[in-house]
Structure 1
Amino acid sequence: MLTSLSIRDVVLIEALDLDFHEGLGVLTGETGAGKSILLDSLGLALGARGDSGLVRQGAAQAVVTAVFDTPHADGAIAALLAENGFDLEAGEPLIVRRIVKADGGSRALVNGSAAPAALLRELGAHLVEIHGQHDDRGLLAASGHRALLDSFARIDTGAATRAHRAWRAAEDALAVARADLDTQERDREWLEHAVAELRGFAPEPGEEEELATRRAGMQRGEKIAGDLQAVADLLEGSDGGLARLRQAARILERLTEDHEALAEALEAIDRAISEADAAQDGIDTAARALAFDPAQLEADETRLFDLRALARKHRVQPDALAELTEELGARLDLLESGGAGLAALERAVAQTAAAYDAAAATLTTARTAAATRLDAAVKAELAPLKLDAARFRTVVAPLSPAQWSPSGKDRVEFEISTNPGAPFAPLVKIASGGELSRFILALKVALAEEGGAATMVFDEIDRGVGGAVASAIGERLARLAERTQVLVVTHSPQVAARGRQHLLIAKSHDGLVTRTGVRQLDAGERREEIARMLSGATITPEARAQAERLLETA
């Protein structure tokens, strides 16, 4: 609910602070007093286009602040605020502010923090509904009728939304698969050759390092083979060091008893023979490890060079060739079995389409039933508004397949016939100004039974009517205000008398500057204002008496 509106430097309004109450609030004043400025200011706070022409002459900027209470009670508002990084504690007011500078710049704030103007527009759609003769949104725009009917009947479109999403996803997957298959068909010859070549070569992960290491070892062994053989000959040859040590040991074994030093010499020679044997074992081990087969070396070099060449050809690292072989092989297998894969995807499309058809059919059934209830509810409102001959209907018709959406397959439009025998036509095309305003009210009262925005504004909805019709309009507005806050800009005394709060909009001039002001009327002032509305510039006793009767019966 709108609790207050603060306006600074908007057109003719210099400074204005208004508090609003629950129920029906009426705004009256002479023509040209500035009621449109007040509504333009509210619209600005709700995200309307920030026109620098709204800034009062001589002022640097215009500022409008609107305060709403208990916005957290509306799940849509809470979700919208949370999505945009704003949190509200229970009971905390929602404060939206709009600043428009004389040079054309503008800013929007939500609870003191900067926000995009688009967020104000989205919030405004949930917080306030504004209706008038020339309203081209909501009730008169056919594009919004389906949502209004769904809200009236509390129809949940969630199942259809999910089914539509699944269906479209399945169609997208099928389209991608078909495109991929077409591309792969064009590449079939290359793919078959590449897979045959890779599978024939059979690369292994880590193979490059293994081949390079083994090749380097054999090349090193080739270089030192002669040196190792020379060392072996010096140790093991017939005239080598080990042979001479062993000969010396055999001679000393016969002489150890002749002197104790000879025994020590024999022990030293035995140790030398043992160390030489260890050296020989090491040389033999190294020789075996570094032994190479010229044929094997050539084979390893050839495979290593071919492996690297194949990697360059496919623009991958050698170690990635094994994975590439599997990937290209899988693509070829998919190509070979592409028909079966497409058939599975086509079945998925058919299944999800059938699920969407069922969900959409459920929505159509619910909407058709809701349309009957809405038509009856609107019909009940037409006679008191002196539209007895008029007929109203809610059309639920199929959309073309290209227009099917997450909200189903239905087109919903409100139509009327104002005279017996006249054909039905869209609401906005057939009604005169007075009829249109009454149709809007009748429809809004019927729709409001199922809820809506917490604040509704009707801009001169009673234009062109009077007497009993105006009284019926006032009664309908008062009834509507029992469930929600209603603000009415009116020229009708019958409507004004129904208000729980009465605000007078007036223009003043001090000889230099013209200003628009608004003030709340007390009981006596209300009687005078309603009497003025009844009689004009000169208020007669009869007008005052009539105003008193209107207030007593309201």
Structure 2
Amino acid sequence: MLRTLSIRDMLLIDRLELDFHPGLNVLTGETGAGKSILLDCLGFVLGWRGRADLARAGAAQGEVTAVFDLPPGHAARAVLAEAGIEAEDELILRRIASAEGRKTAWVNDRRAGAEVLRALSDVLVELHGQQDDRGLLNPRGHRALLDAFAGAGPALAATRAAWRAQSAARAALAGAEAQIAAARAEEEYLRHAVGELDRLDPQPGEEAALDIRRRQMQGAARIREDVARAAQALSDQGAEALMTDARRWLEGAADRAEGALEPPLAALGRALVELSDAQAGVESALDLLDFDPAALEAAEERLFAIRAAARKHQVAPDDLGGFAEGLRARLRALDAGVEGLADLERDLNRAEAAYAEAAAALTALRTEAAGRLDAAMAVELPPLKLDRARFETAVSPGEPGPEGADAVAFTVATNPGAPAGALDRIASGGELSRFLLALKVCLTQGTTGLTLIFDEIDRGVGGATADAVGRRLRALGDGAQVLVVTHSPQVAALGAHHWRVEKRVAGEVTTSTVITLDAQARVDEVARMISGDTVTEAAREAARALLAG
């Protein structure tokens, strides 16, 4: 329940603090006195989108504070919990608008964005007027209103989940079909490339090894002749033979040389050992340099084939093996495509069946709720002087989507035998007000903790019809807080609490203010609403009669 609304420097309001009460709260005043300003200010603190120039002219900033009672279990507590704001029995919303248009908001002294305010607004306040654009006159919102009346939350959640699963299954099948179509378009290339690479069978590091081997064989052809000469010079036909002869000659003369030849003989022995090592090394080198020209040709052919394949497929030579495996995987996917598509088609069929089942359950729930809503409206219309009118909730097949496959429209017929049509096309202004009031009453049944605001819902009606509207509003206020902006004396007289909005001019400054009316002031105000500018005693007597009820 809205308990207090405090306004500072907003539009034409200087300072204003209003204390509201349970039941029917009535605001009256001359046209242009500023009643709409109060709703603008309330909408501002609740995060509703509206005019930007809210701060009063000459003020640095404007401020609105709204205080709500928040009983245990109120839906606003869940909104606060999701926003990370601790809930208390009192909810304080405060929002400031600077002269430059900047807006800042607090919820229980915690900074909050407009989206949090709007989420709280949805469970705190319901605004309704004759030109209501928040769902009642908008056919696109009728389904959501019927779902709320039906308590269709779980069924909606199940339908949305089934729709998501169906969409995912359809996307998976479409993706697989696209992949297979693309693979089939290049199937000939894939099979040729895989066969070619399978025959080549390139190994990681092979290209580098072949290049080294090729260069070795090419180099060997140039140096082997010199190495062979060296081997010949070191062999028993060359240096080894000469050194062996020299050693034999020196050993024969050593006995007569008195030891002078011992050092040369020792050095010569060592030289023969080194010579043997040199011969072994040269012979080993000759073995390495010994190659088959056909081997060089074969190595070059394979090296060139690997490099050509790498250029053709635009990959590094060492990546050819991985590239070939990728092509094989695409071929396997193509070969297994028919079986895979069959599995995906079965998944889609199951998802479509699950969605159809969920949507059908939701349709049944909506159809049953539509009957209950129509019956409830049939009870609400006669007290509002719409005895001959008929309200129907039409549930028809619609475009399937995440919220089912139904189209919902609220239709009315104002005279027996007349065809039903859309609310805003069939009903006159006064009839429309009463239809909307009855519908609002039915749709909010069972809703607790909600402040209902009716902005000139009685426009276009008078006399007994206005009295009927007022009595329905008062009855509605017995179980909820109802705030009504009205020009009807019949409605104003039925309020439990009454305020008058006045516009005052002091010097060059115009301000709006709100006056709490006592019993005598109410008589004068209702009399003014009856007679106009000149309040007569007869008008006062009529006002007293209305207030006496």
Normalising to structure 1: TM-score of the pair?
Answer: 0.80
1:4–1:281: structure 2 CA closer, same or farther, 3 Å change rule? farther
Distance 1:532 1:131 in 2: 26
Q: Contact 1:215–1:300 (CA<8 Å) still a contact in 2?
A: yes
Partner of 1:546: 545
Q: Contact 1:13–1:517 (CA<8 Å) still a contact in 2?
A: yes
Secondary structure in 2 aligned to 1:140? coil
Partner of 2:26: 26
Partner of 2:356: 357
Partner of 1:206: 205
Partner of 2:51: 50
**Structure 1 counterpart of 2:85, which letter?**
L
Distance 1:276 1:90 in 2: 101
Q: Contact 2:96–2:105 (CA<8 Å) still a contact in 1?
A: no
Partner of 1:462: 458
Alignment of 1:377-456 (within 5 A): 377-399=376-398, 403-451=399-447, 454-456=450-452
Q: Contact 2:220–2:290 (CA<8 Å) still a contact in 1?
A: yes
**Structure 2 counterpart of 1:375, which letter?**
D
Distance 1:343 1:450 in 2: 50
1:547–1:422: structure 2 CA closer, same or farther, 3 Å change rule? closer
Query: Which of 83, 88, 93 pairs up with 2:85?
Result: 88
Query: Quick one: percent identity of the two aligned structures?
Result: 48
Partner of 1:324: 323
Which segment is superposed worse, 326-335 or 263-272? 263-272
Partner of 2:137: 140
- Work out whether 1:194 is the aligned partner of 2:199: no
Distance 2:24 2:277 in 1: 113
Which segment is superposed worse, 37-46 or 439-448? 37-46
Q: Contact 2:493–2:547 (CA<8 Å) still a contact in 1?
A: no
Secondary structure in 1 aligned to 2:457? coil
Query: Which of 106, 113, 126 pairs up with 1:129?
Result: 126
1:174 Cα deviation (Å)? Answer: 2.9
1:393 Cα deviation (Å)? Answer: 2.0
- Work out whether 1:109 is the aligned partner of 2:110: no
Gaps of 5+ in 2: none
Distance 1:519 1:273 in 2: 131
1:255 Cα deviation (Å)? Answer: 7.3
- Work out whether 1:489 is the aligned partner of 2:485: yes
1:380-404 CA distance string (max 9 Å, x none):
22222222222222211111xxx21
Query: Which of 147, 150, 159 pairs up with 2:147?
Result: 150
1:32–1:276: structure 2 CA closer, same or farther, 3 Å change rule? same
1:395-432 CA distance string (max 9 Å, x none):
11111xxx211000111111222222222222222222
1:239-281 CA distance string (max 9 Å, x none):
335983798499869979x999988987776666666655655
Q: Contact 2:250–2:261 (CA<8 Å) still a contact in 1?
A: no
Partner of 2:504: 508
1:452 Cα deviation (Å)? Answer: 8.0
1:147 Cα deviation (Å)? Answer: 0.9
1:223–1:237: structure 2 CA closer, same or farther, 3 Å change rule? farther
Partner of 1:161: 160
Q: Contact 1:531–1:547 (CA<8 Å) still a contact in 2?
A: no
Secondary structure in 1 aligned to 2:140? helix
Could you say what the CA RMSD is over the residues aligned between the two structures, in angstroms? 4.2
Distance 2:112 2:260 in 1: 106
Gaps of 5+ in 1: none
1:144 Cα deviation (Å)? Answer: 0.9
Distance 1:500 1:260 in 2: 147
1:342-400 CA distance string (max 9 Å, x none):
3333333222111111110111111111112222222222222222222222211111x
Q: Contact 2:5–2:67 (CA<8 Å) still a contact in 1?
A: no
**Structure 2 counterpart of 1:509, which letter?**
V
1:530 Cα deviation (Å)? Answer: 4.3
1:190 Cα deviation (Å)? Answer: 3.6
Which segment is superposed worse, 130-139 or 181-190? 181-190
1:49–1:493: structure 2 CA closer, same or farther, 3 Å change rule? closer
1:196–1:485: structure 2 CA closer, same or farther, 3 Å change rule? farther
The alignment covers a number of residue pairs equal to: 536
